[in-house]
Structure 1
């Protein structure tokens, strides 16, 4: 999401300092809810997937292809999130960022997160599982974006409205790409992004382990999905 600041001054023609701070506090609470929602989604998904199996043959080209596609999605998602942090360049909380990934979608970090969830789901060898998990993640992010845009509109006014008219909320508009020749790298932010994204790869041994237990008969599949 194009990032926002915790304003300490009244913005002419927009919300007052008190209003912006109230929205900020509400957003902080919403972000906590978002993290819990995603955590719950992950736990529920893993619990449900214990009883769900891929309808494609285990060593068939479709099953294997979906798993490799999922791995590619996870890698692209991590690299994309790092690119977002590079373009932020330590400006987080200081201004409305509309360059690089933020020039083609207002929420590149969320877009790449959804792509990662899709890739994680594909590690089951099921396209339906990947799409379902991605849709659930999209629903959570769409909700929090609505909260964020209230603050952004209050903090940046017409500038944010113009940005919304030019750049889509989620689906990238590639022809809009605009980036300066040089960016100030936020190496700490990039490192944190890599560290936080590392657990994505745990989905590979996790679902391989579930598949092994299903094949061994320790867990009985109740639903087969393509």
Structure 2
């Protein structure tokens, strides 16, 4: 009777670990590309926006209102990202977090980053600029999310598939909010989040400087956008 070859003990676990390591390496590379893509996006914006102006009068209520709305969105993004870190509590990569912001949106950190980019764009006084920048950021994050989900599915399997069914990828569903009474806080993680988000607010003096340079005739606006 022919014998049936069987895998040595632990071979399956070793194979799974190898696959998971490969996924982590792919994700790390994707994160590098994400940062580069966002860097290119920011550079293009800085190089292009001096020749773009708001079609709304600079001192008008619409222009000023968009700038104030942008500031509110940046503050909201900062607070939202901090809230995400409160619930992660150092567990990122170790547990499937499905509480607080992660109960209403699978990628709240990226969602709030898009909100921040929208707020930054509104500092130009143009809704069109804000939406274009936010759409570009969404395209970058949408790509990296697909890579992250590959890793999460390999780590958590069926529970992650169930989580994807219940919770939307980007657009929050507030009615799904649930939270324990107590959470473990990673203070260093929260501080790092605040530190990383503070550059959002540099857009205010940067775009004010661009407007001043345009008014002084250093840059000639070629495109007026509402």
Task: State the TM-score, normalized to the length of structure 2.
Answer: 0.93
1:11 Cα offset (Å): 8.8
Q: CA deviation at 1:52?
A: 0.1
Q: Residues 132-171 of structure 1, C-alpha deviation per residue, up to 9 Å, x if partnerless?
A: 0000000000000011111111111000000000000000
Change (3 A) 1:58 1:11: farther
Q: In 2 relative to 1, CA 11–113 (structure 1 residues): closer, same or farther, beyond 3 Å?
A: farther
Note the residue ranges of structure 1 that are not aligned, 5 or more in a row: 1-8
Residue 139 (str. 1) matches residue 136 (str. 2) = no
Runs of 5+ consecutive residues of structure 2 not aligned to the other structure: 1-9
SS for the counterpart of 2:112 is: helix
Contact 1:104 1:167 in 2 (8 A): yes
- Closer, same or farther in 2 for the Cα pair 1:193/1:60, shift >3 Å? same
Q: Show the counterpart of 1:111.
A: 111
Distance 2:11 2:165 in 1: 24
TM-score between the two structures when normalised by the length of structure 1: 0.93
Change (3 A) 1:120 1:154: same
Q: Which runs of 4+ in 1 moved over 3 A?
A: 9-12
Partner of 2:120: 120
Cα displacement (A) at 1:93: 2.2
- The residue number in structure 1 matching 2:4 is none
Say whether the 8 Å CA contact 1:10–1:17 is kept in structure 2.
no
Pairing 1:201-220 to 2, within 5 Å after superposition: 201-220=201-220
* Structure 2 counterpart of 1:89: 89
User: Over aligned residues, Cα RMSD in angstroms?
Assistant: 1.4
Question: What CA distance in whole angstroms lies between the structure 1 residues aligned with 2:12 and 2:105?
Answer: 25
Q: How many residues align?
A: 216
What SS does the aligned partner of 2:53 have?
Answer: strand
C-alpha separation in 2, matches of 1:147 and 1:10: 26
Q: 1:11·1:155 contact (CA, 8 Å) conserved in 2?
A: no
